[in-house]
Each structure stands twice: as structure tokens, then as C-alpha cells.
Amino acid sequence: QVQLVESGGGSVQAGGSLRLSCAASRRTFSVKIVGWFRQAPGKEREFVARINVNGEHTWYTDAVKGRFTISRDNDKNTVSLQMNSLKPEDTAVYYCAATTRPYASYPNEFGSWGQGTQVTVSS
């Protein structure tokens, strides 16, 4: 498994932007997909976005389409999540995760997880 470390969380007002980064401890060619999940207090962890190893395919949950953009820099072993037009309902702890599966969207399909970074959006 690869170690993942998130950064970039913080507090913003509604309509603002944040950029999250997920750094991997090493390059592993077995990782096929890197995803972002979030978990709000009292709620289950939910899928936000994912990107495949080549960065050619991305997928977003409907709630963030058009506002969030996932991207990756394989030279730096990082995956980023640009979050624009943030809403209070985006408030959560955001986690990045990696999997060797070719297709994955559920938390139990990802084997490596970061420690999470808090995002708070105030109205």
C-alpha cells in the first residue's frame, strides 16, 4: 500500500475556493485510481471524485459537478482537487484514497487512505 497525505483544507465563506492536494509517499505502478471522499459529522463517507492513473478519465458525484476539478501530476506523485463555488453543504473532512482496482467508487474498494483534511464553508 502507498501512504497518502492530504493538505490544503481550511475555512472559507460560501462561494469561495480551496485546493486540496494528496501526496503519495512513492510512485506505485499498481495504483489504478485515486479518489477523493468526504465525511460530514453524523454522515457516512461519500464519494466525491476520482481519476485514473493516466489522468484521462475523471468522474464526479452530481453534487460537485461543474464546481470541483480533480487532476494529477504523476511526476510529483500528487492528485489535486480544485473546489470552486463552495457551499456550506461541502463542509466535511476530505480524504484521498488509492486503489489497484480498474474501477472503484465505494470506500471499501480503496485500500490506501490519507488522514483527512477539514474543509469548513460558512454561509
29 pLDDT higher than 80 = no
53 pLDDT higher than 90 = no
* pLDDT value at residue 77: 87
Element (H or E) spanning 106, and its range?
none
26 pLDDT higher than 80 = no
Q: pLDDT (tens digit, 9 = 90+) per residue, 87-121? A: 999 999 999 999 999 899 999 999 999 999 999 99
